[in-house]
Amino acid sequence: MSNPSAARPNDPLKDLTLAISGFHKTGAHAIRIVLQDWFEFLGGRPAEIVYVDGGSPLSTTRILASLASEGLIDRLELLNPAHWENSFDRCYIQEYRSGLLASRPYVMFIKPDMLPFRHGHDSWLREDILQLDQPRVFSITNTHLIEPPVSRRGPYL
C-alpha cells in the first residue's frame, strides 16, 4: 500500500494497545480509577489493554484478575512474587513483555503510577499515529526529558 495512513480507521483507538507493566505494590485499589483516567485521556477505551504484573502480592493479583474478568483488562500476565524478575532493576522485562503481548499495530506504554493530564488538542492520538506512519519514524516518546532533542519536525522532537 503506498499510503499506509489512508487505510487508518477514523477511530485510532481501534489500532491501539495500552501496554501496562506494574511493579510489586502498585496501589491495586486505584488501578480501576487509573485505567478510567487513561481512557478519558485517550478519548475512549483502546482496542486492547495488556497488563503485566511484576510479582505483586495475592491481594493485588486478585484485583487485577477481577478487572480482567470484568473486561477492563484483556490480557493479564502475573509473575510469582519470588521470581528473579521481581526487581526494580529488572522491571524493564515486564515492560518488554507488555509490548510483546500486544496484538494491535500501535502500542502505548504506560505505568499505573503515571496519571494523564490534558486540556485541548483532542486530535493528538490521530496525529501521532500519522507521524508513526512516516518513513524512518519508529516511536514517539518523552526521552527529551532525559536527553536533549536532536531534531524537530513540527511539534515533534
The pLDDT assigned to 1 comes to: 38
For residues 91 and 21, the answer to whether their CB atoms sit within 8 Å is yes
For residues 61 and 53, the answer to whether their CB atoms sit within 8 Å is yes
The residues, ordered by sequence, that sit 6+ positions from 45 with a Cβ below 8 Å of its Cβ are: 13, 39
Q: What is the pLDDT of residues 25-36, one digit of tens each?
A: 556 678 888 899
pLDDT, mean of residues 78-107:
89
Residue 151 has pLDDT above 80, yes or no: no
Residue 5 has pLDDT above 90, yes or no: no
Q: How confident is the model at residue 81 (pLDDT cuts 50, 70, 90)?
A: confident
Flag whether the pTM goes above 0.85.
no
